[in-house]
Amino acid sequence: MIKSLKEIANIKFGLHSQSQEYGKVLYLQAGHFSNKGKLLQIPTSFIDVHGRLNEHLLEDGDILLAGKGNRNFAWCYRSNLGPAVASSIFFVIQPRQDLINPEYLTAYFNLEKCQLHFRKLGEGSNVASIRKSELGELNIPILTMKKQLEIAAISKLHEEQIEITEKIQQRKHELYEAVMNNLTTGK
């Protein structure tokens, strides 16, 4: 079965605000993520949230999709990170979790075919920007929950393998440098 994103999720914009060095609520920005949507570090930018701003607090399973610029990665927020708010560069997609698994949807958004689609949606302006209405029309394959969970698990394993491979490459480079330094200096 195929459904449009707007049929299976609430889509809203992140919050435009000034970040602070200290605070209780993380303010997630594009610079905190790799091109593939991996959180690079625990963010060091914060925001004070009060009153109406509380509606911008992320909920477990919300998906951040970078909607501006040339990096349209997706990332799934989990509450164990602590209270957080997304900056305005992101769409905050709140999937109906009875229909769609957030990690499955995140993996789907990060597929090359979706990334290409997002780039096409963003064309035509100085700064590539996806329109909310066009994003809402994106067709999403709704598989059985079992299949969605399997796909999410495969995606997680793939990310872990890439991380291990990158660490191995770094260690090989360090070893190479050490050997070459030893050979050239005799130490």
Contact by Cβ (8 Å): 58, 86: yes
Spell out the domains of the chain, with CATH numbers in brackets. Answer: 2-143 (3.90.220.20)
With H, G, I as helix, E, B as strand and everything else as coil, classify residue 24. Answer: coil
pLDDT tens series, the chain, 187 aa: 999 999 999 999 998 877 777 778 888 988 888 877 888 877 778 887 776 678 889 999 999 999 988 888 999 999 998 899 999 999 999 999 999 999 999 999 999 999 888 888 877 666 778 899 999 999 999 999 999 999 999 999 999 999 899 999 999 999 999 999 999 987 6
- Position 111 scores a pLDDT of 93
- Position 75 scores a pLDDT of 95
Rounded Cα gap, residues 69 and 72, in angstroms: 7
- Position 42 scores a pLDDT of 73
Helix orientation angle between 102-109 and 145-185, rounded to the nearest 10 degrees: 60
Rounded Cα gap, residues 117 and 67, in angstroms: 12
Say which residues have a Cβ less than 8 Å from residue 79's Cβ, sequence separation at least 6. Answer: 58, 59, 60
Q: In what order do the strands lie in the sheet with 46-47?
A: 46-47, 25-28, 84-86
Rounded Cα gap, residues 132 and 6, in angstroms: 10
- Position 125 scores a pLDDT of 66
Return left, alpha or beta for 23; rule: phi > 0 is left, psi -120 to 50 is alpha, else beta.
Answer: left
- Position 89 scores a pLDDT of 92
Residue among 77, 91, 84, 99 at smallest CA distance from 25:
84
- Position 126 scores a pLDDT of 67
Give the pTM.
Answer: 0.86
